[in-house]
Amino acid sequence: MKTYLDSPGRIDRELSEEDMALAQALQINGRASFREIADALGVSDQTAARRWSRLRSAGKLRVLGLTDPLRLGDSPWIVRVRCTPDAAASIGEAMARRTDTSWVSLSSGGTEISCSMRTRGPGLEEPLLLQKLPRTPQVVDVSAHCLLHVYFGQDLSAINKSGPLTATQVAALTPPAVPEAAADAAPVTLDDGDRQLLDLLARDGRAAPAELAAATGLSTSTVRRRIAELRTAGVLYFDVEYHPDVLHRDFRAALWLEIDPARLAEAGAVLAGHPEVAFAAAVTGTANLYASIAVTSAQLFYRYLTESVAALPGLRHTATAPIHRTLKGPGPYLPTRL
């Protein structure tokens, strides 16, 4: 599937206030009708539809229907690969070409590659990547960290924190909350029709029910019902993919934190509320809390570390890795989608 990173030319970085409002509305509810969006924004549904068509055609954003791997019994991982600087770019590009990676970036002065992987089932038995990497001469070290709980990300992005919509507008657009699954809840089982439907939504989260019905052979009413059921089960969520030049921040970094386990949930919740945080999750390993940070300068990152991060409850240790280049992924806020 082609990503915006493949798009030719350069996109204007700035969205207008009206475009930002529409983008935030779609981030809140990617399947909201243009009538629902128009009512919340105070415009006509034709205006809302026209703005969406223009932004999508220009390659600035699109809506994707994605799945939560934990609700399907799959395992999401962040893999860190330390290698010699002369080999980082070539190894990273090779990892980006693989179908079992969803984003790949170069960090730490070009000596580290980070990527996201998703494996079927609870373990790392399947991925050939982790079997091949240690045998590559230029690779110094490989570590894999399983994502245990997402505090901020998936259907939430930076625009949820910085967008122009009022609290009343946000409330009008917010779909019913999905109850959090119990830790011992059985994974949701998909049939072939579900998988086909989800594959189509992963390409276009706003595809019309009639279009989805024609492509899957299901009835329109079945498509509507199954989308609602998958959302309620926490399997399906909708996210806005932004071109890398939209909502851009000039300094990005990966943040690895060691938190007292007794205060991990508390620290994760606090971290999720920081405006600088694009993604935050509990992970396995000595550093048990991971975050992707996006700010406008190194100076502001320093201030963020010494003020907001230093005040996190239960903080034991901090490690940072500036992100220099994105080789694969949906945009500048990494990893927002897994």
Q: What is the pLDDT of residue 88?
A: 84
Q: What is the pLDDT of residue 28?
A: 96
Question: Are the C-beta atoms of residues 165 and 29 closer than 8 Å to each other?
Answer: no
Q: Which residues of 180-219 are buried (b: 16+ CB within 10 A; e: fewer)?
A: ebeeeeeebeeeeebebbbebbeeebbbebeebbeebebe
CB atoms within 10 A of CB 151: 22
C-alpha distances out from residue 83 to 95, 128, 141, Å: 13, 18, 7
Tell me the pLDDT tens digit for each residue of 50-93.
Answer: 999 999 999 889 999 999 998 998 888 999 988 888 888 888 88
Task: Share the mean pLDDT of the chain.
Answer: 86
pTM of the model: 0.84
Give the three-class secondary structure for 45.
helix
Angle at the Cα of 75 from the Cα atoms of 186 and 71, rounded to 5 degrees: 35
Question: Are the C-beta atoms of residues 147 and 281 closer than 8 Å to each other?
Answer: yes
Dihedral of the alpha carbons of 240, 251, 4, 196, in degrees to the nearest 10: -50
